[in-house]
Amino acid sequence: MSTRPSKRQRSEDLSLLVAAETIRSTFWYDDGNIILQADFTQFRVHRSVLSKQSSVFEGMFLMPQHPNSEEGCPVVFMPDRADDLSIVISMFYDMSFVNCVFNYR
């Protein structure tokens, strides 16, 4: 018995995720140029900030993205939990968080 490979998500399915009830995170910058969505939480951030701080984000942004957009920004669906992504983004934007971590020692 052969198993079929899982199907790719259809663009209509992704559009439903964007249209579903979403929550704006505290990391929502009006001048942000990309929206990351984890669970139903959206983060409007700056592609350049994330790329400069993380080679993972830099590589991810080089890959072709789904054409979904909201408020003129591409929406990237993240496999991570929203609270985990919030912690990662806070390390890039919130210097008090970074100072707290490094001064903990």
Query: Domain spanning 11-103 has what CATH number?
Result: 3.30.710.10
Q: 90 φ, ψ to 5°?
A: -65, -30
Locate the domains of the chain by residue range: 11-103
Q: 28 φ, ψ to 5°?
A: -130, 100
Residues with pLDDT less than 70, the chain: 1-20, 95-105
Residue 14 Cα distances to 38, 48, 86, angstroms: 12, 25, 21
